[in-house]
Chains A and B, each alone.
Chain A
């Protein structure tokens, strides 16, 4: 059984640019949630994907968008990057209708 993986590990972008982060869910898990973790804080829910559709969204603007693919992997896209977008982006996979979420190692995004 393989765990949740994310790529890239680190990324540096300039304000105004766009970024795509990737996540492969744990083997057998069909649901992916994305979280933003600012330094020294707990993860904050961005959105969840199930059956290739957004299945819930936190308090994030529309410039945060995502995709889920038939193999359950997922992408997080952020447009018009702002300095405050600098954070660790975590994805978590789970089985539909199960509560437990398992996190990947995260992508550290720095916006300069």
Chain B
């Protein structure tokens, strides 16, 4: 089955700096890679996703890149703000009729004011 590894597990940045979170996946059949933000005690919120036929996608201050050959994808957050502080999860999936997602172990991002 699919295996997703996520690094780093914790990340602290100064407000205004950029943050990068990296994930690798094992199953070359995976074709969908979403990123979720989960604030303490709240639901995971889909913030951006990318399909395997696209190398990069951007939405305001966040962007995701995908390298299918190396089987890794990354989340980039620019001009970080304190409200960006949360746990971020990457996931891989999309295969089969269920298109189930396999999640990484999460990155606790702290943006210091």
Query: Which residues of A come within 8 Å of B, CB atoms?
Result: 4, 33, 40-45, 48, 50, 55-56, 58-59, 90, 94, 99-106
Chain B interface: which size bin? Answer: 20 to 34
CB within 8 Å: A-B pair count: 62
Q: Determine how close the nearest CB of chain B comes to the CB of A90; give it in whole angstroms.
A: 7
Q: A residues within 8 A CB of B97?
A: 50, 55-56
The stretch of B13-21, B57-65, B70-78, B99-107 that contacts the partner chain? B99-107
Contact status A105-B42, CB under 8 Å: yes
A90-B44, A105-B42, A105-B43 are known contacts. Are A45 and B102 too (CB-CB below 8 A)?
A: yes
Main secondary structure of the interface of A (DSSP, over half): loop
In the complex, whether B113 has a CB less than 8 A from a CB of chain A is: no
* Known contacts A42-B91, A42-B104, A44-B103: A103-B98 contact under CB 8 Å: no
Q: Mark B1-33, 1 if CB is under 8 A from A, else 0.
A: 100101000000000000000000000000010
